[in-house]
Structure 1
Amino acid sequence: MGGTASESAYRVLMGVLESRTGQTLSPNRIWRIEMSLKPVMQRHGITDLDALVAALVTSNSRQLLDDTVDAMLNNETYFYREYSIFDDIAANALEHIHRVNLRERRLTIWHCGVSTGQEAYSMAMLLAEQDSKWAGWRVDIVGTDVSYHAIGRARVGLYSQFEIQRGLPVQRMVRWFDQTEAGWLAKADLRRRVDFSVQNMLTDRPPLAAPADLIFCRNLLLYFSLPMRQKAFARLRAVAAPQSFLILGAGETVLGQTDQFVASPRLRGLYEPADQQVRRSPIAPQVAA
């Protein structure tokens, strides 16, 4: 950091990020603030961080505030991240949900912190490949994120060559995306399967028509302080179906963080509501064909 004024600017920007999103900046992310905000400053004709902070304080520009917060967010994601998790979901979690919800014939999936949409589209592709299983069901896949820029990209469904190859098998790429001059565009049939919206999970209720049977909240809570994390877990539990699954990132856990969820005794990497654990309704073993 530079002198006192710059240190003050960093503190203000970190405060803006936390107040708007609940996220805090770890020391290894602080140094990236100026680099991340350079495009925003260029776009708005601002010379440096101190001038940016001054503009945020004195200006009524909602666009400047949105752009500033958006640039400080980490939107890292890719298709089928940790492929084994999707295999477990397909083979076990969805099988259980199918039995539990057979009478209602409804499946609700929420991707919280969905970023640019790859994870939600991965789930949509997986379910489309099980179309016969879900025939006659209402299937809702909802993706939310605090970043309006990320949600805008998710809705369009346009990905670069690097993004499309990152985690996406070639056969799915060809089946679900069209190559264009601008990049790889998700086909309309895939885009219509997911609803994306800008939401702050700490303050907004997700636009779900029913309690969520699967909740993806991966590598988002890492950026929250413990009090914010506890609040986030409570909000996740408030919209989770009694017998549902929560999917966190590989480096995340509920231990010491919340009493709302517990680790699934059968599905590694998945969690269940603590008050209505899925283990009370055993998951049937898969029988080899």
Structure 2
Amino acid sequence: MIEPQYRQIARVVQDVSGLVLGPDQGYLLSSRLGPVLRQNGLVDLMALAQRLALPGATELARQVAEALTTNETSFFRDRLPFDHLAGTALPRLAAARARGATLRVWSAACSTGQEAYSVAMLAREVQGSLGGRRVSIFGTDICGKVINRAQEGVFSTFEVQRGLSPERLARWFIPEGPNWRVQPGLREDCRFEVGNLIGQISVSGPFDVILLRNILIYLDKQTKEQVVEACLRRLAPDGVLYLGAAETMLGLSTRVTPLPEYRGAYCFTGALQGMPA
């Protein structure tokens, strides 16, 4: 039987972040909520559940949701979407935009920023195929702590070794003690803010590209539909939406269609007719 305090905490986490905690994930509460308990002077999970049930527990609920959010990420994670972005999507979108236009990319649930900075590196590297058009990347995440790290743009040796080639590391990063700092020019291409995909999203579209990767797998169907619709409202009519390798739009929206050259990328169904073969 699931303990009442677990059900209460799981319900609050889902309300705040959309994250669904299964009955076999009680270990997460014990392993990750210790700092939250200490910070708020709570002796155990029962006390936490009782506090969360009281009026005015909004800030505490946010802390709990942040502590239980998975922030796993790496540079150029899964590689294939980045190959498609650099070789097909960005050049195609650039060709459809006025000269001097800026292509806008939204990295939703960006964690510590590796995805956003990966896009920034690619955009700089394929600048010749974009006709001089700049690419601006906007990253959001529910967790303020990881957003602060993304804004700082400093990564450990372990983090830069996950997905970065030695050539890219040397080109785009500056050694700083035992760590590596993103080059200033690259940092200027990226902006980060705290944002909750299931709350009142302050993000303004349209975006040419939206990266909604490795998020939907943690949500129930209703919340998935809500998040997808929020993103589609901010996607340009000919824009591209990327999902994670284990995710699909099947059963979530009939408004979009997988791109034929890469099934993990989606566009509005009607937009396919106007695209070059």
Whether these two folds match at TM > 0.5 is yes
1:230 aligns with 2:225: yes
Whole-Å separation in 2 of the counterparts to 1:204 and 1:58: 23
**Kindly tell me: are residues 84 and 64 of structure 1, through their superposed partners in 2, closer, same or farther at Cα, counting changes over 3 Å?**
same
Partner of residue 83, structure 1: 79
The 3 A distance-change label for structure 1 pair 234 and 131 is same
Q: How does 1:124-273 map to 2 (within 5 A)?
A: 124-134=120-130, 136-181=132-177, 183-208=179-204, 210-273=205-268
User: Do the aligned residues in 1 keep the contact of 2:99 with 2:133 (CA within 8 Å)?
Assistant: no
SS of the equivalent of 2:84 reads: helix
Taking the aligned partners of 1:8 and 1:182, their CA distance within structure 2 comes to: 45
The verdict on how the C-alpha distance between 1:266 and 1:72 changes in structure 2, with shifts beyond 3 A counting, is same
| TM-score between both structures, scaled by the size of structure 2 | 0.91
Check whether the contact 2:155–2:179 (CA below 8 A) recurs between aligned residues.
yes
Contact 1:215 1:246 in 2 (8 A): yes
Partner residue, 1:66: 62
**Aligned ranges for residues 23-34 of structure 1 at < 5 Å?**
23-34=19-30
Runs of 5+ unmatched residues, structure 1: 285-289
Quickly say closer, same or farther: Cα 1:19–1:63, change in 2 above 3 A: closer
Q: Structure 1 residue 134: deviation in Å? A: 4.3
Contact 2:91 2:130 in 1 (8 A): no
- Give the distance between the partners of 1:25 and 1:49, measured in 2 at CA: 15
Aligned residue for 1:93, secondary structure, equals: helix
Q: What is the aligned partner in structure 2 of residue 287 from structure 1?
A: none
CA contact (8 A) 1:142 1:207 kept: no
Contact 1:26 1:223 in 2 (8 A): no
**Conserved? CA contact 2:116–2:137, under 8 Å:** yes
Identical pairs, percent:
34
Number of residue pairs the alignment of both structures matches: 277
Distance 1:66 1:18 in 2: 11
Q: Name the stretch that deviates more: 248-257 or 61-70.
A: 61-70
Q: Distance in 2 between matches of 1:143 and 1:200?
A: 11
Shift of 1:182: 5.5
My pick for the range that moved more, 54-63 or 234-243, is 54-63
Q: After superposition, what is the alpha-carbon deviation per residue over 1:198-249, rounded to whole angstroms, capped at 9, x for unaligned?
A: 11122333434x4111110011111111111111111111111111111000
Bigger mean CA offset, 28-37 vs 8-17: 28-37
> CA distance change for structure 1 residues 186 and 27 in 2, over 3 Å: closer, same or farther?
farther
Verify the 8 A CA contact 1:14 1:25 in the aligned structure 2. yes
The one-letter amino acid paired with 1:76 is E
> 1: CA distance between counterparts of 2:202 and 2:89?
22
Cα distance in 2, alignment partners of residues 215 and 136 from structure 1 = 21
Residue number in structure 2 paired with 1:46: 42
Helix, strand or coil at the partner of 1:268: strand
CA separation of 1:138/1:249 partners in 2, compared to 1, >3 Å: closer, same or farther?
same
Cα 1:145–1:101 change in 2 (3 A) is same
Aligned to 1:19: 15
Give unmatched runs, 5+ long, in structure 2. none
TM-score, length-normalised on structure 1? 0.87
RMSD, aligned α-carbons: 2.2
Alpha carbons of structure 1 residues 63 and 203: separation in structure 2 relative to 1, 3 Å: closer
Give the stretch that moved more between structures: 25-34 or 132-141: 132-141
SS in 1 for 2:248: coil
Counterparts of residues 94-105 of structure 1 (less than 5 Å): 94-102=90-98, 105=101
Q: Is the 8 A contact 1:115 1:151 kept in 2?
A: yes
